[in-house]
Amino acid sequence: MFGILIAILAVIGVGSLAVYTGAVESPFNRGFTTIGESKDTLQQPCVPDETMPVSYKSVSVTVLNASGRTGIATITGDMLVDRGFQVAEVGNALDENGNAEELPYTLVSSNAAGLAAAYTVAAQLTNSAVVLDDRPEPTVDVRVGANFDGLIPEDEVTLEADVPLTSPDQCTDVEDITPRHSPEPEPEATEEGADSTEASS
């Protein structure tokens, strides 16, 4: 009996070593997905000097669900419309490879010409960051992340029409950033026949 116990422990030890060294994949590794990069590692673009906020009604926003929670993009889009922004589309976020994307934070993106609009939108959002992408037009995408808990109350939004926008701490000059690819989002689900992929928006 004691010999059998020793043999079992030896097999377990060999299996554990194989998992540790990577020779065998642990079953506990399956089904887990890395959710985006850390917000602290993002290259947030510096705002050019004397850049002013833009009027809300002039900003075209696409709101995308990257939270893993159902309905967040639609709810956020409605709140932005109530605040005066033009919401062009609501859907589900895709990463640069066209796969469903989940983020722990809310990501606002536009091209260099749309930075003023992007920072104007970001000023409304809790737990958000701004990044540069390669879209052809100065529109704005909002990827609503898992830590999103609503819009900042209007009376707490730190924007003044005649006061220049301020850059985030440790921002990066635009010319030193390689813009991210901006993939086409998945279309918004309809009430009838929505599948599991689309239903999260």
Let me know if residue 9 belongs to a domain. no
Compute and round to an integer the Cα radius of gyration of the chain: 22
Let me know if residue 35 belongs to a domain. no
Q: What's the residue count for the chain?
A: 201
Inter-residue contact 198 to 186 (CB < 8 Å): yes
- pLDDT of residue 119 exceeding 60, the answer is yes
Mean pLDDT of the chain: 80
Let me know if residue 90 belongs to a domain. yes
Percent of the chain at pLDDT > 70 equals: 72
Cβ burial 168-178 (10 Å sphere, 16+ → b, else e): eeebbebeebe
> Phi/psi zone of residue 71: left (φ > 0), alpha (ψ -120 to 50 degrees), beta?
left
C-alpha–C-alpha distance, residues 130 and 44, integer Å: 6
What is the model's pTM? 0.74
C-alpha–C-alpha distance, residues 43 and 176, integer Å: 9
Please state the domain count of the chain: 1
C-alpha–C-alpha distance, residues 197 and 48, integer Å: 39
pLDDT digits (tens, 9 = 90+) for 166-184: 999 999 999 999 998 877 7
Q: For residue 106, which of 138, 140, 156, 157 has the smallest C-alpha distance?
A: 140
Average pLDDT on 90-118 reads 93
pLDDT digits (tens, 9 = 90+) for 142-173: 999 999 989 999 999 999 999 999 999 999 99
C-alpha–C-alpha distance, residues 162 and 93, integer Å: 34
Let me know if residue 19 belongs to a domain. no
Let me know if residue 51 belongs to a domain. no
pLDDT at 133: 95
pLDDT digits (tens, 9 = 90+) for 7-51: 444 444 444 434 333 443 333 232 223 345 567 789 999 999 999
What is the pairing mode between strands 106-110 and 86-92? Answer: unpaired
Let me know if residue 73 belongs to a domain. yes
Let me know if residue 132 belongs to a domain. yes
Let me know if residue 6 belongs to a domain. no
Q: Predicted confidence band at 60 (pLDDT cuts at 50, 70, 90)?
A: very high
Greater pLDDT, 31 or 87: 87
Q: How many CB atoms lie within 10 A of CB 13?
A: 10
Helices (H), 36-190: 72-83, 115-122
Inter-residue contact 94 to 187 (CB < 8 Å): no
Residue-range definition of the domain harbouring residue 145: 56-176
